[in-house]
Amino acid sequence: MKKIYIIDGMTCGGCVASVTKKLLDVKEVSNAEVQLETSEAQIKIDDFVDVSVLQSALGTKYTIQEKTKDFPPSERLLKSIENPSKLKQLKPLLLIFLYLFSAAFLLNFKEWNVTNAMLDFMGLFYIVFSFFKLLDLKGFPESFKMYDPLAKLIPAYGWVYPFIELALGLFFLMRFQIPVALGVTIVILGITTIGVIKTLLDKKSIRCACLGTALKLPMTEATFIENAIMLVMAVVMLVKYVNL
């Protein structure tokens, strides 16, 4: 059973992540989709739960009440049309990957070198993705710890993570300590990928923090593919450097 609730008190992406986590912690709630713009939460409930239980889970910072307005059929149709498809939601991520691949190719096409192209792609990947995370450094850790195991265990890791990505991007682009950067890439993306796989298997609907909180990306198979591409590149490159 799905119900729509109005939640007051949210001001940023961090609030959305915090509210989503608190709602999912309620045992009767199996899914929660929270929107900052409309102050609404669409909650899937497996068993009856009183609104007072949800309010208790959210604490005093936020207030929640059930939305009772019944939209007419024409308005419901309009809302369904406005609700973007998964492909449309992932359009920013796909465009960024297209630009990154194109940039890496153009930087190396005159004197083509696969190794340099891969290093440039990985460096640009980290620089661009860290930029989006740094746009909302306060909100990103809250979203990130919802699925990254290490960020859940050590909250400070979520605050440091964008700077780790920025440093790795510079390392790859400057060709500095490449084996170390590859090893760190395998570790941090390996940990995140474990969390992504668990989220997908649990069929939880949460926001992916790969591009921070500026862009609303759902956690989907595309997130796993994004991490997998970087992991495969890192492993291939590390093996190559070890064999030199």
Q: Which fold has domain 2-82?
A: Alpha-Beta Plaits (3.30.70)
Strands (E), the chain: 2-8, 29-35, 40-45, 63-66, 207-208, 217-218
pLDDT at 104: 95
Angle, alpha carbons 7-8-14 (nearest 5°): 85
Return the pLDDT at 79: 45
Segment 227-243 shows an average pLDDT of 89
What lies within 8 Å, CB to CB, of 93 at 6+ separation is: 210, 211, 215, 217, 222, 226
In the Cβ-directed half-sphere of 212, how many Cα atoms lie within 13 Å? 20
Higher pLDDT, 88 or 167: 167
pLDDT (0 to 100) of residue 74: 45
Question: 46 or 238: whose pLDDT is higher?
Answer: 238
The pLDDT assigned to 2 comes to: 84
User: Which tokens hold the place of 83?
Assistant: 């609700």
Is the pLDDT higher at 152 or at 12? Answer: 152
What pLDDT score does 219 carry? 66
Can you give the pLDDT at residue 30? 87
Indicate the domain borders of the chain: 2-82, 86-242
Give the pLDDT band of residue 27 (cuts 50, 70, 90): confident
φ, ψ of residue 4 to 5 degrees: the values are: -110, 130
Model-wide pTM > 0.85:
no
